[in-house]
Amino acid sequence: MASSTRSPILAAPVLALVLLSACAKSDARLEKLSAGITKDSVMATMGAAQRVDPYLTGGHYIEAMYFPKPEATDSADLTDRKMTPVILQDGKVLAWGWKQWDSIASTLKIKVAAP
């Protein structure tokens, strides 16, 4: 039987980032997100992701789901930084927003778009 223990490497920084995420919300959809909800719940709240980048690191499946911001009108002009990332670990929301994704990506040595 598989163990359901969480990675201690990400636990403390992620908790701090999730708590800080409330400070930088401008998209009303983000107000409905919470750490631990499923990918299906994210999609029901945010709509279809413009792109999903998968990573396997430290025995965990990480997904960066990129959603257009509500004010985005032309999908051809949607660079990474003009979208909102929602980060999942093993199918559950870990964090959202660029500040959080930049920190997680740096910790896991994942390259993301420059600010």
Q: pLDDT value at position 26?
A: 75
Tens of pLDDT, residue by residue over 32-74, are: 999 999 999 999 999 999 999 999 999 999 999 999 988 776 6
Whether 115 is in a domain gets the answer no
Whether 93 is in a domain gets the answer yes
Q: What distance in Å separates the CA atoms of residue 52 and residue 57, rounded to the nearest whole number?
A: 16
Beta bridge partners of 61: 56
3-state secondary structure of 111: coil
Whether 49 is in a domain gets the answer yes
Domain of residue 34, CATH code: 3.30.1450.10
Whether 5 is in a domain gets the answer no
Q: pLDDT value at position 24?
A: 46
The whole domain housing 42 covers 26-108
Q: pLDDT value at position 77?
A: 72
Rounded to two decimals, what is the model's pTM? 0.75
Whether 18 is in a domain gets the answer no
- Is a pLDDT exceeding 60 seen at residue 79? yes
Whether 63 is in a domain gets the answer yes
- How many domains is the chain partitioned into structurally? 1
